[in-house]
Amino acid sequence: MNGVFDISGKRALVTGASSGLGEHFAQTLARAGAHVLVAARRVERLQSLVERIRENGGSAQALALDVCCADSVARAVQIASEPGLDIVVNNAGVSVARPVLEQTEEDWDVVLETNLKGSWRVASESARWMVKQGRPGSIVNIASILGERVAGGVVPYAVSKAGVLHMTRALALEFARYDIRVNALAPGYVSTELNADFLASESGKRLMSRIPQRRFADPQDLDGALLLLVSQAGRAITGTTLAVDGGHLISSL
C-alpha cells in the first residue's frame, strides 16, 4: 500500500483479536504492512490467526492478554512496546443482553470492567511506553453506536460504550502534546459469523428496516475508517468518533 495510508514498518497491537472484528482488524493492518501483535485470552485461536497472516505474506505474533487484569496488560504492552509500539486498536469487548430488571451486579461488572476499564488500562499503559520512547502513536477505541443511542436489554453495554467515547476525547486532549492521537470507531450492526443467524431472522429484518442504507455493515466496511485513523492520512484527526453504521445514528425518530 502506498501513500498516506501506508503503515509499513509500524507495530500495531490489536486486543480481542481471537475472533470477530478484532481478527478482521488484525488482518487488515497486516495487509497494510504493519507487524501486528494479536492479543486475547484464547491464545490457541491467536496462533491460528498468526499462521494465516504469515501465509498471506504478513507479519504477526500472538500475545496472551486479559484486559481485566492490570498485570496481564502491563506484561502484554511491555512485550508489544519493545522495540516500539505505534498503533493500538482497543477492540476487546463483551456484552450481556438481558432486561435491566434481570441484570445482576456481575453483569454490570464484567461489561464495564472489560469494555471501559480494560480499554483505559490498555490505552494508558500503551501511551506510557510511547511517551517514554518519544514515539508518536495512534490509539483507536472500538466503541459502538450504542454509545450514542440506546436500545433495550443492553444497559451496561451502552453505558460502557458511552464511557469509551468520552474517555476517547479526554485521552486525546491529554495525549496531543505527545503526538499520540486517540479516536473512536463506532460500528453499527456488523454481520459476523456470531450474529449472522439473528441478522437473517425476522427480528433482524425489522432491525435492518430502521437503517437508512437498509443494510448491515460487513467487517470490510470498517477498513477505510480504521486505516484513516491509524495512518498519516489521519494525522490531524484526534478526539473524534467515526461511525460506520449505514446512517443508523441518524435514523428518523
Q: Smallest distance from the beta carbon of 236 to ligand NDP, in angstroms?
A: 25
Number of H helices, E strands in the chain: 9, 7
How big is the CA angle at 118 (ends 165 and 197), to the nearest 5 degrees?
75
Task: Please say which residue, 34 or 38, places its beta carbon nearer to ligand NDP.
Answer: 38
Q: Which is nearer to ligand NDP, 18 or 28 (CB)?
A: 18
Query: Is the Cβ of residue 166 or residue 235 nearer to ligand NDP in the bound state?
Result: 166
- 8 or 15: CB nearest ligand NDP: 15
Rounded (10°) CA dihedral 195, 197, 199, 201: -150
**Least distance from ligand NDP to the Cβ atom of residue 134, Å:** 28
Q: Please spell the DSSP secondary structure of 48-117, one letter per residue.
A: HHHHHHHHTT-EEEEEE--TT-HHHHHHHHHHHHSS---EEEE---------GGG--HHHHHHHHIIIII
- Least distance to ligand NDP from the beta carbon of 178, Å? 25
Tell me the closest approach of the beta carbon of residue 65 to ligand NDP, in angstroms.
5
Q: Which residues are catalytic?
A: 157
Contact residues for ligand NDP, defined by CB under 6 A? 15-16, 18-22, 40-42, 65-68, 91-94, 114, 118, 142, 144, 187, 189-190, 192, 194
